[in-house]
Amino acid sequence: MTLEEKLNDLNNMILKGEILESMDKYYHPDCVVMEKNNVVAKGLKEAKDRESAMFEGVEAWLKSEIKSTAVGKNVTMTEWHYEYKHKDLGHKKFDQVAVQHWKDGKIISDRFYALY
Instruction: Render pLDDT for 63-80 as a digit per residue (tens, 0 to 9).
Output: 999 999 999 999 999 999
Which of helix, strand or coil describes residue 57? Answer: coil
- Judge contact between 84 and 62, C-beta under 8 A: yes
How far is Cα 103 from Cα 27, in angstroms, rounded to an integer? Answer: 10
Q: Residue 5 has what pLDDT? A: 98
CA angle 111, 48, 8 (to 5 degrees): 60
Report the mean per-residue pLDDT for the chain.
95
How far is Cα 16 from Cα 84, in angstroms, rounded to an integer? Answer: 15
How much of the chain exceeds pLDDT 70, in percent? 100
Q: Residue 55 has what pLDDT? A: 87
pLDDT at 54 over 90: no
Q: Phi, psi (5° rounding) for residue 105?
A: 80, 5
What is the per-residue burial (b if ≥16 Cβ within 10 Å, else e) of 10-26?
A: bbebbeeeebeebbeeb
Which of helix, strand or coil describes residue 16? Answer: coil
Of 114, 104, 113, the C-alpha closest to 26 is 104
Q: Residue 115 has what pLDDT? A: 81
